[in-house]
Amino acid sequence: MAGHSKFKNIMHKKGRADAVRSKLFSKLSRDITVAAKMGMPDPAMNSRLRLAVAMAKAESMPKDNIERAIKKGASGEADNMEEVRYEGRGPGGIGLIVEVLTDNRNRSASNVRTAFSKYGGQMGDTNSVAFMFDRVGEITYPLKAGDADKIFEAAIEAGAADVETDTDEEDGGHTIYTAYEDLNEVAEALSKLLGDPKSTGIVWKPQSLNPVTGEPVRTLMKLIDALNDDDDVQNVYGNFEISDEDYEALG
């Protein structure tokens, strides 16, 4: 997958600037709270909570914040939260999946629909684009974890399904994919071989990437940023590919 920009990954994430870190922590806290509500408040006994905590730690979320989020879920304070998945098409027909965690489904649906409409997209029905993605486990490591051969060998030994390495010094890294049900087992095995990962989670991986060029690139990025700016939106996934040249042209 050489030649892709930093947006080649299926998940478009904001930069980790201080201005957005509090919002990131808020979303991570909500995910932990809901995970704790749905199962045991002990990460060792709750695989979903274990994943949520691992992701929070990967983003350097303070331990106190994590513990408060777990207690909130265990106490039943998150009883009115529900997970919702929205799907639609962005500029150029790009498929987008938007994962939401909300206490008001009507508000969230309205906000997501408004963002799609404002930036040249259109919301669709459930499964209108999900068939173009696979639900898989994703584990990431920085480039310094080892060269491509070392990571590949470790991943295969741990039971992973696929490995991708981007050697870009600024935005590169190793991305390891697993079957949905194998994520926890593979992540734990890799931790013993390579140390703690940069991130771990369940994602929507596109079966193929569609190139976006020219002006639609700017509109697509505005749509994704608008979705990510919504407090209810947890993740945004897309099956697009943007060249380095078009990304740089965004300014």
User: Which CATH number belongs to the domain containing residue 224 in this structure?
Assistant: 3.30.70.980
User: 141 with 195, same domain?
Assistant: yes
User: How many independent structural domains does the chain possess?
Assistant: 3
Tell me what pLDDT residue 74 has: 87
Q: Is residue 10 part of a domain?
A: no
User: 101 with 41, same domain?
Assistant: no
pLDDT tens digits for 110-141? 999 999 999 999 999 999 999 999 999 999 99
Q: Which two tokens stand for residue 80?
A: 């009115």
User: 109 with 144, same domain?
Assistant: no
Bridge partners of residue 179, in order along the sequence: 136
In the block, which residue shows the tokens 């938007």? 98
Task: Enumerate residues 6+ apart whose C-beta is below 8 A from 20.
Answer: 14
Bridge partners of residue 155, in order along the sequence: none
In the block, which residue shows the tokens 């600024």? 170
Bridge partners of residue 106, in order along the sequence: none
pLDDT lower than 50: segments of the chain:
1-17, 19
CATH number at residue 51: 1.10.10.200
DSSP state of 174: E
DSSP state of 6: G
- Give the gyration radius of the chain's Cα atoms: 18
User: 113 with 214, same domain?
Assistant: yes
Q: In degrees to the nearest 10, what's the CA dihedral of 131, 132, 138, 143?
A: 180
Domain that holds residue 200: 133-206
Kindly list the distances between the CA atom of residue 6 and the CA atoms of 32, 99, 124, 185, 204, in Å, as whole numbers in the listed order: 27, 21, 27, 28, 17
Q: Which two tokens stand for residue 64?
A: 């106190």
φ/ψ of residue 240, rounded to 5: -115, 165
User: 201 with 141, same domain?
Assistant: yes
Tell me what pLDDT residue 251 has: 66
